[in-house]
């Protein structure tokens, strides 16, 4: 197996609050090769975004801290890196794009200024070369008239164009890893498909590795190679996309897949997962999913399951995965 570009090992983030210590990211482990696209799936509040902010070392407040685990980027542990060293990585090595491109672009700077600034900040090249790079980037992300559009402001673009502009700015210093935090959620469906195709295309051409945060399994099906499903701060299932979509090995993944619009006949009511994800301050005893789990048995209430290897390249954090799914998955594993 090739060396991982980025590897998280037991990454754990704590938030100190007046009410006590919360753990939005709880011993997360995964690895990503160059050119791989991994989907990070889960409901709102499951810790997907927090995980990625931790990877960038840009946690939202001083109260949030990485308390355990390592993140190896090209073999180097970046959790212990000083802030200046980390700053040199953001941009040229890893970059992030966000759900809402409108608010993530500076309203008083032109798109061109924002892209060239990123280039000039990290590389010793002239203003003119940076300008050409910016135009080239805009062309790569699908702007029809990049030289003129460099002088436009974010408010002059449509949502899809803004997302493309943000991708261009993120890719300005040719990073190796792109973290995309729900990049298509705020866009309409046709534009969504364009942006996903753009990401795939960039991966093919530049060998970019992408962590794609989403709550849409349809997006995962179109783009990712591997998937990690998060629930209440933990990874509950990890698998290759094809395996996961064929047969999930965790009741939560199963329930997520049942809630997809494509999974039910047209006109019938979409099934939903009963109840709410638990608040971080009131995590249930035992398996965190058991209050909502259709397969829950008494042991689930007492035993906190670990993420265990379930044959091949996959892992499940369900105590009963073998008896529930072994028949179907057995052949593969």
Partner 1 sequence: MTLTPTHRAATLPFRLASQGLAAPTALKPGAAISLAWLFFAIAAPLIAPYDPIAQDLEQTLRHPSLAHWLGTDNFGRDVLTRIVWGARFDLAMGLLGVIVPFILGSAIGLVAGYFGGIVDMLLMRLLDITISFPFFVLVIAIISVLGAGLVSFFIAVALVGWVSYARLIRAQTLVLKHSDFVLAARNLGYGRLRIMARHILPNAVLPAIVFSMSDVVLTILLGSSLSYLGLGVQPPSAEWGVMIAEGQTFLATAWWISFFPGLAIVTLALGFSLLADGLAETLGIRE
Following CA atoms 161, 162, 165, 171 in sequence, which dihedral angle do they give, to the nearest 10 degrees? -120
Binding mask of the shown chain, residues 215 to 254, with x at each position contacting partner 1 by CB under 8 A:
----------------------------------------
Among 40, 173, 280, 319, binds partner 1 (CB under 8 A): 173
| 155, two tokens | 């408010």
Among 74, 117, 201, 216, binds partner 1 (CB under 8 A): 117
103 binds partner 1 (CB under 8 A): yes
Among 4, 25, 96, 187, binds partner 1 (CB under 8 A): 96
How far apart CA 279 and CA 119 sit, in angstroms, is: 41
Among 25, 172, 220, 310, binds partner 1 (CB under 8 A): 172
In the complex, minimum distance from the CB of residue 167 to partner 1, in angstroms, rounded to a whole number:
11
The whole-angstrom distance between residue 272's C-alpha and the CA centroid of its chain comes to 23
118 binds partner 1 (CB under 8 A): yes
Q: Are 8 and 58 in contact (CB under 8 A)?
A: no
Question: What is the phi/psi pair of residue 304, to 5°?
Answer: -85, 110
How far apart CA 38 and CA 31 sit, in angstroms, is: 9
121 binds partner 1 (CB under 8 A): yes
Among 74, 106, 123, 216, binds partner 1 (CB under 8 A): 106
User: How many Cβ atoms from other residues are within 10 Å of residue 269's Cβ?
Assistant: 6
Among 3, 58, 242, 279, binds partner 1 (CB under 8 A): 58
From the list 115-123, 184-192, 269-277, 305-313, the region that binds partner 1 by CB under 8 A is: 115-123
In the complex, minimum distance from the CB of residue 289 to partner 1, in angstroms, rounded to a whole number:
31
DSSP string computed for 24-62: EEEEEEEEE-TT-EEEEE--TTSSHHHHHHHHHT--SST
Q: Are 232 and 277 in contact (CB under 8 A)?
A: yes
Q: Which residues bind partner 1 (CB under 8 A)?
A: 56, 58, 86-92, 95-96, 98, 100, 103-109, 117-118, 121-122, 166, 169-170, 172-173
């Amino acid at each position: 197996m090739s060396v991982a570009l980025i590897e998280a090992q037991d990454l754990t983030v704590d938030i100190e609050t007046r009410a006590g210590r919360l753990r939005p990211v709880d011993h997360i482990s995964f690895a990503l090769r160059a050119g791989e696209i991994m989907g990070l799936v889960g409901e709102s509040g499951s810790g997907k975004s927090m995980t990625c902010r931790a990877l960038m070392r840009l946690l939202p407040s001083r109260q949030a801290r990485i308390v355990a685990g390592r993140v190896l980027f090209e073999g180097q542990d970046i959790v212990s890196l000083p802030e200046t060293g980390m700053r040199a990585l953001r941009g040229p090595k890893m970059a992030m794009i966000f759900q809402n491109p409108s608010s993530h672009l500076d309203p008083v700077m032109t798109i061109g200024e924002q892209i060239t600034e990123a280039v000039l900040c990290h590389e010793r090249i002239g203003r003119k070369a940076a300008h050409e790079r910016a135009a080239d980037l805009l062309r790569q992300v699908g702007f029809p008239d990049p030289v003129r559009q460099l002088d436009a402001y974010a408010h002059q673009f449509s949502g899809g164009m803004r997302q493309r502009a943000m991708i261009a700015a993120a890719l300005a210093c040719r990073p190796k890893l792109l973290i995309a935090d729900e990049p298509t959620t705020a866009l309409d469906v046709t534009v969504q498909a364009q942006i996903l195709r753009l990401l795939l295309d960039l991966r093919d051409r530049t060998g970019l590795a992408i962590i794609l945060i989403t709550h849409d399994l349809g997006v995962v099906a179109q783009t990712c190679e591997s998937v990690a499903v998060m629930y209440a701060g933990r990874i509950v299932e990890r698998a290759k996309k094809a395996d996961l979509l064929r047969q999930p090995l965790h009741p939560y993944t199963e329930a997520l897949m049942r809630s997809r619009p494509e999974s039910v006949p047209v006109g019938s009511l979409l099934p939903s997962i009963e109840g709410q994800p638990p608040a971080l301050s009131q995590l249930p005893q035992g398996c965190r999913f058991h209050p909502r789990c259709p397969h829950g048995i008494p042991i689930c209430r007492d035993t906190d399951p670990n993420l265990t290897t379930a044959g091949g390249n996959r892992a499940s954090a369900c105590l009963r995965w073998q008896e529930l799914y072994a028949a179907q998955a057995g052949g593969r594993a």
